[in-house]
Structure 1
Amino acid sequence: MLPQCSVVIPVYNREDYITQTVESVLEQSFSNFEILLIDDCSTDGSYNLLKELERKDNRIKVFKNEVNLGVAETRNKGVSLSRGRYIALLDSDDIWLKDKLKKQLDHINDKGCSLSYCSYGFIDRNGNDIGGVFQVPPYIDLSGLLKRNVISCSTVLAERELFERYPFNKDYYHEDLVEWINMLKECKISYGYTGKLAKIRIMKGSKSGDKANAAKQRWLIYRDHMEMGLLASSFYFFNYALFSAIKYRSIRKDLR
Protein backbone atom coordinates (compact mmCIF):
# COMPACT_ATOMS: atom_id res chain seq x y z
CA MET A 1 0.00 0.00 0.00
CA LEU A 2 1.32 3.40 -0.92
CA PRO A 3 1.72 5.96 1.86
CA GLN A 4 -0.72 8.85 1.83
CA CYS A 5 1.97 11.28 2.91
CA SER A 6 5.74 11.50 2.31
CA VAL A 7 7.76 13.43 4.89
CA VAL A 8 10.88 14.92 3.31
CA ILE A 9 13.74 15.80 5.69
CA PRO A 10 17.08 17.10 4.34
CA VAL A 11 19.90 16.51 6.81
CA TYR A 12 23.26 18.23 7.15
CA ASN A 13 25.27 18.03 10.39
CA ARG A 14 22.29 17.62 12.69
CA GLU A 15 23.38 14.75 14.95
CA ASP A 16 22.28 16.74 18.02
CA TYR A 17 18.68 17.18 16.82
CA ILE A 18 17.74 14.67 14.12
CA THR A 19 16.62 11.89 16.48
CA GLN A 20 14.13 14.19 18.21
CA THR A 21 12.92 15.46 14.84
CA VAL A 22 12.29 11.96 13.47
CA GLU A 23 10.68 10.78 16.71
CA SER A 24 8.19 13.66 16.48
CA VAL A 25 7.07 12.17 13.15
CA LEU A 26 6.99 8.57 14.36
CA GLU A 27 4.77 9.65 17.28
CA GLN A 28 2.13 11.13 14.98
CA SER A 29 -1.47 10.03 15.55
CA PHE A 30 -1.71 9.56 11.76
CA SER A 31 0.50 6.65 10.69
CA ASN A 32 0.17 6.16 6.91
CA PHE A 33 3.36 7.96 5.96
CA GLU A 34 6.92 7.41 4.83
CA ILE A 35 9.94 9.40 6.03
CA LEU A 36 12.60 10.26 3.46
CA LEU A 37 15.85 11.28 5.17
CA ILE A 38 18.45 12.60 2.73
CA ASP A 39 21.91 13.19 4.13
CA ASP A 40 23.69 15.99 2.28
CA CYS A 41 27.27 14.83 2.94
CA SER A 42 27.26 15.51 6.69
CA THR A 43 30.68 15.65 8.34
CA ASP A 44 29.43 14.69 11.81
CA GLY A 45 27.65 11.54 12.95
CA SER A 46 24.31 12.36 11.33
CA TYR A 47 24.39 9.63 8.67
CA ASN A 48 25.12 6.85 11.18
CA LEU A 49 22.21 8.05 13.31
CA LEU A 50 19.94 8.02 10.26
CA LYS A 51 20.87 4.42 9.50
CA GLU A 52 20.12 3.44 13.10
CA LEU A 53 16.71 5.07 12.85
CA GLU A 54 16.05 3.32 9.54
CA ARG A 55 16.60 -0.08 11.17
CA LYS A 56 13.98 0.66 13.81
CA ASP A 57 11.02 1.51 11.54
CA ASN A 58 10.31 0.33 8.00
CA ARG A 59 8.60 3.62 7.16
CA ILE A 60 12.01 5.34 7.29
CA LYS A 61 14.14 5.44 4.15
CA VAL A 62 17.66 6.90 4.22
CA PHE A 63 19.57 8.28 1.25
CA LYS A 64 22.96 9.96 0.96
CA ASN A 65 23.99 12.53 -1.64
CA GLU A 66 27.25 11.75 -3.45
CA VAL A 67 28.16 15.44 -3.31
CA ASN A 68 26.82 18.30 -1.22
CA LEU A 69 23.76 19.63 -3.08
CA GLY A 70 22.40 22.18 -0.63
CA VAL A 71 18.96 22.20 0.93
CA ALA A 72 17.01 23.18 -2.21
CA GLU A 73 18.31 20.36 -4.41
CA THR A 74 18.14 17.91 -1.52
CA ARG A 75 14.45 18.68 -1.02
CA ASN A 76 13.93 18.23 -4.76
CA LYS A 77 15.61 14.82 -4.53
CA GLY A 78 13.27 13.89 -1.69
CA VAL A 79 10.28 14.85 -3.81
CA SER A 80 11.55 12.71 -6.69
CA LEU A 81 11.88 9.69 -4.37
CA SER A 82 8.50 10.17 -2.68
CA ARG A 83 5.43 7.99 -3.24
CA GLY A 84 2.71 9.74 -1.25
CA ARG A 85 -0.10 11.84 -2.64
CA TYR A 86 0.95 14.60 -0.25
CA ILE A 87 4.36 15.85 0.79
CA ALA A 88 5.10 17.35 4.19
CA LEU A 89 8.38 19.19 4.65
CA LEU A 90 10.32 19.13 7.90
CA ASP A 91 13.67 20.74 8.69
CA SER A 92 16.10 18.47 10.53
CA ASP A 93 16.10 20.44 13.79
CA ASP A 94 12.38 21.25 14.06
CA ILE A 95 9.65 19.12 15.64
CA TRP A 96 5.96 18.42 15.16
CA LEU A 97 3.17 18.07 17.70
CA LYS A 98 1.57 14.63 17.67
CA ASP A 99 -1.60 15.54 15.72
CA LYS A 100 0.14 17.65 13.07
CA LEU A 101 -0.36 15.35 10.11
CA LYS A 102 -3.87 14.22 11.02
CA LYS A 103 -5.23 17.71 11.61
CA GLN A 104 -3.54 19.21 8.57
CA LEU A 105 -4.59 16.39 6.23
CA ASP A 106 -8.19 16.79 7.43
CA HIS A 107 -7.86 20.55 6.93
CA ILE A 108 -6.47 20.39 3.39
CA ASN A 109 -9.19 17.92 2.37
CA ASP A 110 -11.89 20.06 3.99
CA LYS A 111 -10.70 23.17 2.13
CA GLY A 112 -10.08 21.33 -1.13
CA CYS A 113 -6.73 23.11 -1.55
CA SER A 114 -3.33 22.01 -2.83
CA LEU A 115 -1.08 23.91 -0.40
CA SER A 116 -1.45 24.43 3.35
CA TYR A 117 0.50 25.58 6.39
CA CYS A 118 -0.06 25.92 10.15
CA SER A 119 0.77 27.98 13.23
CA TYR A 120 3.92 27.18 15.20
CA GLY A 121 5.96 27.97 18.28
CA PHE A 122 9.68 28.57 18.76
CA ILE A 123 12.35 26.63 20.64
CA ASP A 124 16.00 27.35 21.34
CA ARG A 125 18.96 25.04 20.70
CA ASN A 126 18.15 23.13 23.90
CA GLY A 127 14.51 22.61 23.01
CA ASN A 128 13.16 25.21 25.44
CA ASP A 129 10.10 27.18 24.37
CA ILE A 130 10.91 30.82 23.61
CA GLY A 131 8.72 33.69 22.53
CA GLY A 132 5.10 32.95 21.85
CA VAL A 133 3.10 31.26 19.10
CA PHE A 134 3.29 32.54 15.54
CA GLN A 135 -0.39 32.65 14.67
CA VAL A 136 -0.94 32.23 10.94
CA PRO A 137 -3.93 33.70 9.08
CA PRO A 138 -6.64 31.29 7.86
CA TYR A 139 -5.65 31.93 4.26
CA ILE A 140 -3.15 33.88 2.19
CA ASP A 141 -2.78 34.90 -1.45
CA LEU A 142 0.28 36.00 -3.42
CA SER A 143 0.03 39.66 -2.48
CA GLY A 144 -0.30 38.78 1.20
CA LEU A 145 2.67 36.42 1.01
CA LEU A 146 4.88 39.11 -0.51
CA LYS A 147 4.10 41.34 2.46
CA ARG A 148 4.47 38.67 5.09
CA ASN A 149 5.75 35.13 4.62
CA VAL A 150 3.61 33.16 7.05
CA ILE A 151 4.59 29.79 5.55
CA SER A 152 7.42 27.99 7.33
CA CYS A 153 8.93 24.94 5.60
CA SER A 154 8.29 22.65 8.56
CA THR A 155 4.58 23.48 8.48
CA VAL A 156 3.97 22.87 4.76
CA LEU A 157 1.70 20.13 3.47
CA ALA A 158 1.00 20.11 -0.26
CA GLU A 159 0.16 17.82 -3.14
CA ARG A 160 3.22 16.04 -4.52
CA GLU A 161 2.33 17.04 -8.08
CA LEU A 162 2.57 20.70 -7.07
CA PHE A 163 6.15 20.17 -5.85
CA GLU A 164 6.96 18.31 -9.05
CA ARG A 165 5.78 21.23 -11.17
CA TYR A 166 7.64 23.77 -9.07
CA PRO A 167 10.99 22.46 -7.80
CA PHE A 168 12.98 24.50 -5.30
CA ASN A 169 15.30 27.06 -6.89
CA LYS A 170 18.81 26.81 -5.41
CA ASP A 171 19.80 30.22 -6.80
CA TYR A 172 17.91 32.05 -4.05
CA TYR A 173 18.81 32.34 -0.37
CA HIS A 174 15.08 32.31 0.43
CA GLU A 175 14.44 29.29 -1.78
CA ASP A 176 11.37 28.48 0.31
CA LEU A 177 9.70 31.86 -0.27
CA VAL A 178 10.35 31.61 -4.01
CA GLU A 179 8.74 28.17 -3.91
CA TRP A 180 5.55 29.44 -2.24
CA ILE A 181 5.43 32.38 -4.67
CA ASN A 182 5.58 30.02 -7.64
CA MET A 183 2.95 27.74 -6.17
CA LEU A 184 0.56 30.56 -5.32
CA LYS A 185 0.78 31.89 -8.87
CA GLU A 186 -1.05 28.68 -9.77
CA CYS A 187 -3.10 27.93 -6.64
CA LYS A 188 -4.11 31.58 -6.04
CA ILE A 189 -4.78 30.88 -2.36
CA SER A 190 -3.38 28.72 0.43
CA TYR A 191 -5.25 27.81 3.62
CA GLY A 192 -3.66 27.79 7.05
CA TYR A 193 -4.54 25.65 10.03
CA THR A 194 -4.55 28.28 12.76
CA GLY A 195 -3.77 25.89 15.62
CA LYS A 196 -0.16 25.34 16.70
CA LEU A 197 1.14 22.09 15.21
CA ALA A 198 4.95 22.54 15.07
CA LYS A 199 7.96 24.05 16.84
CA ILE A 200 10.69 25.85 14.91
CA ARG A 201 14.22 25.92 16.33
CA ILE A 202 15.86 29.34 16.35
CA MET A 203 19.59 29.63 17.01
CA LYS A 204 21.99 32.55 16.96
CA GLY A 205 24.01 32.52 13.74
CA SER A 206 21.50 30.32 11.91
CA LYS A 207 19.70 31.28 8.74
CA SER A 208 16.61 31.99 10.81
CA GLY A 209 18.57 34.24 13.14
CA ASP A 210 20.50 36.28 10.55
CA LYS A 211 17.91 38.99 9.96
CA ALA A 212 20.22 41.49 8.18
CA ASN A 213 21.14 39.09 5.40
CA ALA A 214 17.57 37.81 5.25
CA ALA A 215 16.34 41.35 4.57
CA LYS A 216 18.90 41.88 1.81
CA GLN A 217 17.97 38.62 0.13
CA ARG A 218 14.27 39.40 0.46
CA TRP A 219 14.80 42.61 -1.49
CA LEU A 220 16.47 40.63 -4.30
CA ILE A 221 13.39 38.44 -4.63
CA TYR A 222 11.18 41.47 -5.22
CA ARG A 223 13.57 43.00 -7.73
CA ASP A 224 14.90 39.92 -9.53
CA HIS A 225 12.46 37.04 -9.22
CA MET A 226 9.28 39.14 -9.24
CA GLU A 227 10.80 41.81 -11.53
CA MET A 228 9.11 44.57 -9.54
CA GLY A 229 9.85 48.26 -9.92
CA LEU A 230 11.36 50.31 -7.14
CA LEU A 231 8.04 51.60 -5.81
CA ALA A 232 6.33 48.20 -5.61
CA SER A 233 9.44 46.58 -4.14
CA SER A 234 9.67 49.29 -1.49
CA PHE A 235 6.00 48.83 -0.57
CA TYR A 236 6.32 45.09 -0.04
CA PHE A 237 9.69 45.39 1.68
CA PHE A 238 8.31 47.90 4.18
CA ASN A 239 5.51 45.51 5.08
CA TYR A 240 7.97 42.61 5.34
CA ALA A 241 10.29 44.59 7.66
CA LEU A 242 7.41 45.65 9.89
CA PHE A 243 5.95 42.18 10.30
CA SER A 244 9.41 40.63 10.76
CA ALA A 245 10.21 43.02 13.60
CA ILE A 246 6.94 42.11 15.32
CA LYS A 247 7.41 38.36 14.77
CA TYR A 248 10.88 38.15 16.29
CA ARG A 249 10.57 40.84 18.97
CA SER A 250 9.59 38.38 21.68
CA ILE A 251 12.44 35.95 20.98
CA ARG A 252 15.26 38.32 20.01
CA LYS A 253 16.53 38.49 23.59
CA ASP A 254 17.05 34.72 23.55
CA LEU A 255 19.30 34.93 20.48
CA ARG A 256 21.92 37.14 22.12
Structure 2
Amino acid sequence: MNNLVSIITPNYNSEKFISETINSVLNQTYKNWEMIIVDDVSTDKSIDIITFFCKQDSRIQLHQLSDNSGAAIARNKAISLAKGTFIAFLDSDDLWLPKKLEFQLDFMLKNNYSLSYTSYEIINEEGNSTNKTIKCKDKLDYNRMLYSNEIGCLTAMYNKDVLGKIFMPKIRKRQDYGLWLKVLKSEKYAFGLATVLAQYRDRSQSISNNKVEMLKWNWNLYKNVENLSYFRATYYTLCNVINKLLK
Protein backbone atom coordinates (compact mmCIF):
# COMPACT_ATOMS: atom_id res chain seq x y z
CA MET A 1 0.00 0.00 0.00
CA ASN A 2 1.45 3.35 -1.08
CA ASN A 3 -1.60 5.53 -0.52
CA LEU A 4 -0.88 8.74 1.32
CA VAL A 5 -3.15 9.32 4.33
CA SER A 6 -3.83 12.90 5.40
CA ILE A 7 -4.52 13.13 9.13
CA ILE A 8 -6.74 16.06 10.10
CA THR A 9 -6.06 17.45 13.59
CA PRO A 10 -7.58 20.65 14.98
CA ASN A 11 -5.78 22.04 18.03
CA TYR A 12 -6.88 24.46 20.72
CA ASN A 13 -5.02 24.71 24.03
CA SER A 14 -4.06 21.03 24.09
CA GLU A 15 -0.57 21.32 25.59
CA LYS A 16 -1.44 18.61 28.12
CA PHE A 17 -2.26 16.02 25.44
CA ILE A 18 -0.83 16.97 22.04
CA SER A 19 2.56 15.24 22.50
CA GLU A 20 0.89 11.93 23.22
CA THR A 21 -1.46 12.38 20.26
CA ILE A 22 1.39 13.10 17.84
CA ASN A 23 3.43 10.20 19.20
CA SER A 24 0.51 7.86 18.56
CA VAL A 25 0.77 8.87 14.89
CA LEU A 26 4.56 8.55 14.82
CA ASN A 27 4.17 5.02 16.20
CA GLN A 28 1.95 3.89 13.33
CA THR A 29 3.14 0.77 11.52
CA TYR A 30 1.90 2.39 8.28
CA LYS A 31 4.31 5.20 7.48
CA ASN A 32 2.94 6.97 4.41
CA TRP A 33 1.02 9.77 6.09
CA GLU A 34 0.99 13.51 6.62
CA MET A 35 -0.39 15.06 9.79
CA ILE A 36 -1.95 18.49 9.24
CA ILE A 37 -2.45 20.30 12.54
CA VAL A 38 -4.47 23.51 12.38
CA ASP A 39 -4.28 25.65 15.50
CA ASP A 40 -7.33 27.70 16.46
CA VAL A 41 -5.43 30.54 18.16
CA SER A 42 -4.23 28.65 21.22
CA THR A 43 -3.07 30.64 24.25
CA ASP A 44 -1.10 27.86 25.95
CA LYS A 45 2.23 26.23 25.00
CA SER A 46 0.81 23.75 22.49
CA ILE A 47 2.22 25.72 19.53
CA ASP A 48 5.74 25.32 20.92
CA ILE A 49 5.22 21.59 21.35
CA ILE A 50 3.83 21.12 17.84
CA THR A 51 6.64 23.21 16.35
CA PHE A 52 9.18 20.94 18.04
CA PHE A 53 7.63 17.88 16.41
CA CYS A 54 7.47 19.62 13.01
CA LYS A 55 11.23 20.17 13.17
CA GLN A 56 11.77 16.50 13.97
CA ASP A 57 9.53 15.07 11.22
CA SER A 58 8.59 16.83 7.97
CA ARG A 59 5.37 14.78 7.70
CA ILE A 60 3.93 16.92 10.52
CA GLN A 61 2.65 20.34 9.46
CA LEU A 62 1.39 23.24 11.54
CA HIS A 63 -0.98 25.89 10.21
CA GLN A 64 -2.40 28.67 12.37
CA LEU A 65 -5.75 30.41 12.02
CA SER A 66 -5.77 34.19 12.47
CA ASP A 67 -9.05 34.17 14.43
CA ASN A 68 -10.54 31.68 16.87
CA SER A 69 -13.09 30.01 14.62
CA GLY A 70 -13.97 26.59 16.04
CA ALA A 71 -13.19 22.99 15.12
CA ALA A 72 -15.18 22.96 11.86
CA ILE A 73 -13.14 25.79 10.33
CA ALA A 74 -9.89 24.27 11.61
CA ARG A 75 -10.72 20.83 10.21
CA ASN A 76 -11.88 22.25 6.89
CA LYS A 77 -8.65 24.24 6.56
CA ALA A 78 -6.70 21.02 7.10
CA ILE A 79 -8.85 19.15 4.56
CA SER A 80 -8.24 21.92 2.01
CA LEU A 81 -4.48 21.45 2.46
CA ALA A 82 -4.58 17.65 2.40
CA LYS A 83 -2.69 15.86 -0.37
CA GLY A 84 -3.62 12.30 0.57
CA THR A 85 -5.81 9.76 -1.15
CA PHE A 86 -7.40 9.05 2.21
CA ILE A 87 -8.59 11.59 4.80
CA ALA A 88 -8.51 10.51 8.45
CA PHE A 89 -9.41 12.40 11.63
CA LEU A 90 -7.67 12.60 14.99
CA ASP A 91 -8.40 15.27 17.59
CA SER A 92 -5.57 16.75 19.62
CA ASP A 93 -6.42 14.83 22.81
CA ASP A 94 -7.23 11.41 21.33
CA LEU A 95 -4.94 8.50 20.46
CA TRP A 96 -4.48 5.85 17.79
CA LEU A 97 -3.22 2.36 18.47
CA PRO A 98 -0.13 1.45 16.39
CA LYS A 99 -1.86 -0.62 13.70
CA LYS A 100 -4.79 1.75 13.16
CA LEU A 101 -3.82 2.99 9.71
CA GLU A 102 -2.43 -0.34 8.54
CA PHE A 103 -5.53 -2.34 9.44
CA GLN A 104 -8.09 0.24 8.37
CA LEU A 105 -6.48 0.95 5.00
CA ASP A 106 -6.26 -2.76 4.27
CA PHE A 107 -9.94 -3.11 5.22
CA MET A 108 -10.97 -0.32 2.86
CA LEU A 109 -8.80 -1.29 -0.09
CA LYS A 110 -9.66 -4.99 -0.03
CA ASN A 111 -13.38 -4.27 0.10
CA ASN A 112 -13.44 -1.09 -2.01
CA TYR A 113 -15.06 0.95 0.79
CA SER A 114 -15.21 4.74 0.55
CA LEU A 115 -16.03 5.55 4.21
CA SER A 116 -15.07 3.42 7.19
CA TYR A 117 -14.81 3.60 10.97
CA THR A 118 -13.67 1.30 13.77
CA SER A 119 -14.36 0.34 17.35
CA TYR A 120 -12.57 2.34 20.04
CA GLU A 121 -12.06 2.43 23.76
CA ILE A 122 -12.64 5.20 26.29
CA ILE A 123 -9.82 6.53 28.45
CA ASN A 124 -10.14 9.14 31.16
CA GLU A 125 -8.53 12.57 31.18
CA GLU A 126 -5.33 11.13 32.69
CA GLY A 127 -5.11 8.50 29.95
CA ASN A 128 -6.17 5.52 32.07
CA SER A 129 -8.59 2.86 30.86
CA THR A 130 -12.23 3.18 31.86
CA ASN A 131 -12.88 -0.44 30.83
CA LYS A 132 -15.45 0.82 28.33
CA THR A 133 -15.34 -0.03 24.63
CA ILE A 134 -17.55 1.39 21.90
CA LYS A 135 -18.16 -1.47 19.48
CA CYS A 136 -18.94 -0.23 16.02
CA LYS A 137 -21.86 -1.33 13.87
CA ASP A 138 -21.05 -3.49 10.81
CA LYS A 139 -22.49 -0.90 8.46
CA LEU A 140 -24.53 2.28 8.55
CA ASP A 141 -26.74 4.14 6.11
CA TYR A 142 -28.16 7.67 6.16
CA ASN A 143 -31.46 6.76 7.79
CA ARG A 144 -29.78 4.73 10.55
CA MET A 145 -27.33 7.55 11.25
CA LEU A 146 -30.14 10.05 11.79
CA TYR A 147 -31.08 8.18 14.96
CA SER A 148 -27.61 8.50 16.47
CA ASN A 149 -24.05 9.36 15.44
CA GLU A 150 -22.49 5.90 15.44
CA ILE A 151 -19.14 6.96 13.93
CA GLY A 152 -16.37 8.02 16.29
CA CYS A 153 -14.58 10.93 14.61
CA LEU A 154 -11.16 9.62 15.72
CA THR A 155 -11.82 6.39 13.82
CA ALA A 156 -13.28 7.74 10.57
CA MET A 157 -11.52 7.65 7.21
CA TYR A 158 -12.78 8.40 3.70
CA ASN A 159 -11.38 7.95 0.21
CA LYS A 160 -10.91 11.37 -1.34
CA ASP A 161 -10.24 9.99 -4.81
CA VAL A 162 -13.70 8.38 -4.82
CA LEU A 163 -15.77 10.92 -2.89
CA GLY A 164 -13.83 14.11 -3.56
CA LYS A 165 -12.87 16.43 -0.72
CA ILE A 166 -15.87 16.60 1.56
CA PHE A 167 -15.92 19.37 4.15
CA MET A 168 -17.68 19.71 7.47
CA PRO A 169 -20.69 22.03 7.85
CA LYS A 170 -19.68 25.34 9.40
CA ILE A 171 -21.35 24.86 12.74
CA ARG A 172 -19.65 25.15 16.12
CA LYS A 173 -20.45 21.61 17.29
CA ARG A 174 -21.51 18.26 15.76
CA GLN A 175 -19.80 19.11 12.48
CA ASP A 176 -18.28 15.63 12.22
CA TYR A 177 -21.77 14.12 12.43
CA GLY A 178 -22.77 16.46 9.62
CA LEU A 179 -19.91 15.23 7.42
CA TRP A 180 -20.87 11.56 7.80
CA LEU A 181 -24.49 12.40 6.95
CA LYS A 182 -23.31 14.34 3.91
CA VAL A 183 -21.28 11.36 2.66
CA LEU A 184 -24.14 8.94 3.26
CA LYS A 185 -26.47 10.94 1.06
CA SER A 186 -24.41 9.77 -1.92
CA GLU A 187 -22.87 6.56 -0.58
CA LYS A 188 -25.23 3.74 0.31
CA TYR A 189 -23.24 2.57 3.34
CA ALA A 190 -20.32 3.29 5.63
CA PHE A 191 -18.58 0.18 6.93
CA GLY A 192 -17.24 -0.66 10.38
CA LEU A 193 -14.08 -2.55 11.32
CA ALA A 194 -14.76 -4.24 14.67
CA THR A 195 -11.14 -4.11 15.87
CA VAL A 196 -10.44 -1.53 18.59
CA LEU A 197 -7.92 0.83 16.97
CA ALA A 198 -8.24 4.12 18.85
CA GLN A 199 -8.67 5.67 22.28
CA TYR A 200 -11.11 8.49 22.95
CA ARG A 201 -10.23 10.73 25.88
CA ASP A 202 -13.31 11.45 27.99
CA ARG A 203 -12.82 14.97 29.36
CA SER A 204 -15.20 16.41 31.93
CA GLN A 205 -15.43 19.76 30.14
CA SER A 206 -16.06 18.40 26.65
CA ILE A 207 -19.25 19.09 24.69
CA SER A 208 -20.13 15.40 24.80
CA ASN A 209 -20.41 15.66 28.58
CA ASN A 210 -22.75 18.66 28.43
CA LYS A 211 -26.03 16.92 27.64
CA VAL A 212 -28.19 20.02 27.24
CA GLU A 213 -25.71 21.62 24.83
CA MET A 214 -25.51 18.35 22.90
CA LEU A 215 -29.29 18.36 22.43
CA LYS A 216 -29.20 21.92 21.11
CA TRP A 217 -26.47 21.23 18.61
CA ASN A 218 -28.06 17.99 17.42
CA TRP A 219 -31.36 19.78 16.82
CA ASN A 220 -29.54 22.57 14.97
CA LEU A 221 -27.82 20.00 12.73
CA TYR A 222 -31.08 18.24 11.87
CA LYS A 223 -33.10 21.43 11.31
CA ASN A 224 -30.63 23.84 9.72
CA VAL A 225 -28.06 21.58 8.02
CA GLU A 226 -30.11 18.51 7.10
CA ASN A 227 -33.18 20.71 6.51
CA LEU A 228 -35.53 18.35 8.32
CA SER A 229 -38.93 19.56 9.42
CA TYR A 230 -39.42 20.84 12.97
CA PHE A 231 -41.19 17.60 13.85
CA ARG A 232 -38.49 15.32 12.38
CA ALA A 233 -35.65 17.37 13.89
CA THR A 234 -37.28 17.06 17.31
CA TYR A 235 -38.00 13.35 16.81
CA TYR A 236 -34.40 12.48 15.92
CA THR A 237 -33.09 14.64 18.76
CA LEU A 238 -35.19 12.60 21.19
CA CYS A 239 -33.96 9.39 19.55
CA ASN A 240 -30.41 10.57 20.24
CA VAL A 241 -31.25 11.02 23.91
CA ILE A 242 -32.66 7.50 24.14
CA ASN A 243 -29.65 6.00 22.35
CA LYS A 244 -27.26 7.78 24.74
CA LEU A 245 -29.17 6.48 27.74
CA LEU A 246 -29.06 2.91 26.40
CA LYS A 247 -25.30 2.94 25.83
Matched, 1:43 2:35: no
Q: Determine if contact 2:114/2:163 at 8 Å carries over to the other structure.
A: no
CA deviation vs aligned residue, 1:31-85 (integer Å, no higher than 9, x gap): 1111111222110001010010111112212222222232111111111111110
TM norm structure 1? 0.90
Q: Secondary structure at the match of 1:88?
A: strand
Tell me the residue number matched to 2:192.
192
Matched, 1:112 2:102: no
Tell me the residue number matched to 2:54.
54
Runs of 4+ in 1 over 4 A off after TM superposition: 161-165
Q: What amino acid does structure 1 have at the position aligned with 2:229?
A: G
The alignment covers a number of residue pairs equal to: 246
CA distance 1:137–1:3, change in 2 (3 Å): closer
Q: Determine if contact 1:168/1:176 at 8 Å carries over to the other structure.
A: yes
Deviation at 1:230, TM superposition (A): 4.6
Q: Determine if contact 1:87/1:158 at 8 Å carries over to the other structure.
A: yes
Q: Identical aligned pairs, as a percentage?
A: 32
Q: What amino acid does structure 2 have at the position aligned with 1:50?
A: I
Q: What amino acid does structure 2 have at the position aligned with 1:44?
A: D
Say what the alpha-carbon RMSD is for the aligned residues: 1.8
Q: Secondary structure at the match of 1:187?
A: coil
Tell me the residue number matched to 1:69.
69
Structure 1 CA distance, aligned partners of 2:71 and 2:219?
21
Matched, 1:179 2:179: yes
Q: What amino acid does structure 2 have at the position aligned with 1:106?
A: D
CA deviation vs aligned residue, 1:1-20 (integer Å, no higher than 9, x gap): x8611111111100000000
Structure 1 CA distance, aligned partners of 2:230 and 2:40?
38
Deviation at 1:224, TM superposition (A): 2.7
Structure 2 CA distance, aligned partners of 1:222 and 1:27?
38
Q: Secondary structure at the match of 2:207?
A: coil
CA distance 1:162–1:21, change in 2 (3 Å): farther
Identify unmatched segments of 5+ residues in structure 2. Answer: none
CA distance 1:23–1:163, change in 2 (3 Å): farther
Tell me the residue number matched to 1:157.
157
Matched, 1:222 2:222: yes
Q: Determine if contact 1:172/1:178 at 8 Å carries over to the other structure.
A: no
Matched, 1:17 2:17: yes
